[in-house]
Amino acid sequence: MKAQVKRIFDERARKELDVLEDEGSTPRIKAVTGRYLTLLAEAGYLIPGVGPQSRKDIVGLMAIQEELAQISGSLFLSVEVTARMFAGVVRGFGDPSKTGEMTERVQRGQAIGAVAVSEPAKPGFTGSIYTRARADKDCYVVSGEKDFVTNGPIADYLAVFGRIEDKLAVFLVQPGDQGLCMSPRLKTLGYNGLAVCSLKLDEVVLSSERVLGPFDEDAALDFVRHTENLILCVASLGLMQRSIFSAKAHAARQEREGKSVIAHQEVRFKLAEMLTLLQSSQLLTYRAGWLYGNSDREAATLVHCAKVFTAEAAERVSGLAMQIMAGQGYLWGNPVERCYREAKYAALAGTTSERARMSIADDLLARYQ
């Protein structure tokens, strides 16, 4: 499948994705993402690792995810939010007789999905989710706000996390639902080929078929958080690979003081450090995926360790790549400048590095008491 993914993204496709990064309008992002989703579906990319029941596939899945992540970070994140996060929640926690068609459309690459968990801070509120629904006859009426939703502006379906009384539930909304209001697309520092917006739900009425839950436990939330964190680890691996490839190619091409840049020891040491960080990140990510796939009790800790390490390694590697390319790297729009901007994302998205460190320390204390 790695070879198939490579074949889809030939020179022409990569150029198209580059243009999307620099000047992609929302309709263009929707059209291009939709087209590649269909091609990836035909290659079987959207099938493995969907939902908690497919956890066992995760290590194999990571190998093919890495292939896409090194081609385009934005497309990778958009595809994974659709295929692994949205479809994973619906398949893992929905009733197939009600949501089967939705999952099938996504797995055939015919629909784009989004998952909305994060919310703006609410003074005095100590929980993590305040989007709420109340039952009204056969329906639920949902109200709340979500502040960043990847794929939001281009999604066909959105899985919005909230609560019914105190129990977790997932509300399946669609653009055009009355009371659902999307902000204009948000401008971000990096991953500019990704369409992100915020959401407001003002008394959105949903039939019970479009509500997953209410659940007695928060397993759906844990699933989506671990899945997102592992996706962000792989996004960082792809970013490091792009940085190393560009810096090495530049250093081998460019001559200074009578020898190629790569012949200078200081530059070679940087490349050595970059490769060491990439390899260590890869090992840790695959180990976290393997433990998660085997439902090991240490899995959650290792996913957090991998998330923190790979995010910080990606920042370091893209910084070193820019140092090697110097002025050329600093020019707007080249791959290393893009990686440098994108690298920050992994540390602040999903479980932030601070929250992850707190959780690692908690796990450690609990284990060695």
Ligand X SMILES: Cc1cc2nc3c(=O)[nH]c(=O)nc-3n(C[C@H](O)[C@H](O)[C@H](O)COP(=O)(O)OP(=O)(O)OC[C@H]3O[C@@H](n4cnc5c(N)ncnc54)[C@H](O)[C@@H]3O)c2cc1C
What is the size of the binding site for ligand X (CB under 6 A)? 18
Question: 329 vs 89, 97, 240, 271, 325, CA distance in Å?
Answer: 40, 52, 15, 15, 5
The one-character DSSP state at 50 is: -
- Cβ at position 362, least distance to ligand X in Å: 11
Of 261 and 342, the one with the shorter C-beta distance to ligand X is: 342
| Cα–Cα distance, 88 to 292 (Å, whole number) | 15
Binding positions for ligand X, 329-368, rule CB under 6 A: 348-350, 352, 354-355, 358
Burial of 37 (0-12, 13-18, 19+ CB in 10 A): buried
Q: CA–CA distance from 186 to each of 147, 155, 168, 177, 236 (Å)?
A: 10, 15, 28, 21, 22
Binding to ligand X by CB under 6 A, coded x per residue (else -) over 185-224, reads ---x-------x----------------------------
CB of 98 to ligand X, least distance (A): 23
* List 117, 288, 311, 314, residue binding ligand X (CB under 6 A): 117
Q: Min. distance of Cβ 253 from ligand X in angstroms?
A: 33
Cα gap 184→172, rounded to integer Å: 21
User: Are 167 and 215 spatial neighbours (Cβ–Cβ below 8 Å)?
Assistant: yes
In single-letter form, the type of residue at position 209 comes to E
Residue among 224 and 317 whose Cβ is closer to ligand X: 224
Binding mask 147-166 vs ligand X (x if CB under 6 A, - otherwise)?
A: -xxx----------------
Output the CA–CA distances (angstroms, integers) from residue 117 to 94, 158, 189, 359, in the order listed.
17, 11, 21, 19
- Binding part of the chain for ligand X, among 51-59, 112-120, 272-280, 314-322 by CB under 6 A, reads 112-120
Q: How far apart are CA 284 and CA 8, in angstroms?
A: 28
Of 14 and 355, nearer to ligand X (C-beta) is 355
CB 7 → ligand X: shortest distance, Å?
Answer: 29
Burial of 54 (0-12, 13-18, 19+ CB in 10 A): middle
Both structure tokens of 13 = 């496709």
Please identify which residue in the block is written with the tokens 């909230």.
Answer: 162
Least Å distance, CB 231 to ligand X, is 11
Under rule CB under 6 A, residue 116 binds ligand X: yes
Name the residue nearer to ligand X (CB basis): 264 or 344.
344
The footprint of ligand X on residues 53-82 (CB under 6 A) is: 81
How far apart CA 299 and CA 82 sit, in angstroms, is 24
Q: Which is nearer to ligand X, 213 or 329 (CB)?
A: 213
Instruction: Cite the beta strand spans of 122-269 per DSSP E.
Output: 132-136, 139-150, 157-164, 167-173, 180-182, 196-207, 211-215, 255-256, 259-260
Query: For residue 236, what are its two tokens?
Result: 């960082």
Peptide bond preceding 48 in cis form (omega within 30 of 0) = no
Q: Which is nearer to ligand X, 149 or 230 (CB)?
A: 149
Cβ-contact 322, 336 below 8 angstroms: yes
CB of 247 to ligand X, least distance (A): 25
- Residue type for position 214: P
Closest CB 142 distance from ligand X, rounded Å: 16
Query: What x/- string results for residues 78 through 97 when contact with ligand X is judged by CB under 6 A?
Result: ---x----------------
Least distance to ligand X, CB of residue 349, Å: 4
For the bound state, the minimum distance from the C-beta of residue 358 to ligand X, rounded and expressed in Å, comes to: 5
Residue from 17, 20, 83, 115 that binds ligand X (CB under 6 A)? 115
- Which is closer to ligand X, CB of 102 or CB of 115? 115
Residue with tokens 């790569």, as numbered in its chain: 262
Binding residue for ligand X (CB under 6 A) from 4, 38, 54, 118?
A: 118
Q: Which is nearer to ligand X, 151 or 241 (CB)?
A: 151
Q: Which residues bind ligand X (CB under 6 A)?
A: 81, 115-118, 121, 148-150, 188, 196, 348-350, 352, 354-355, 358
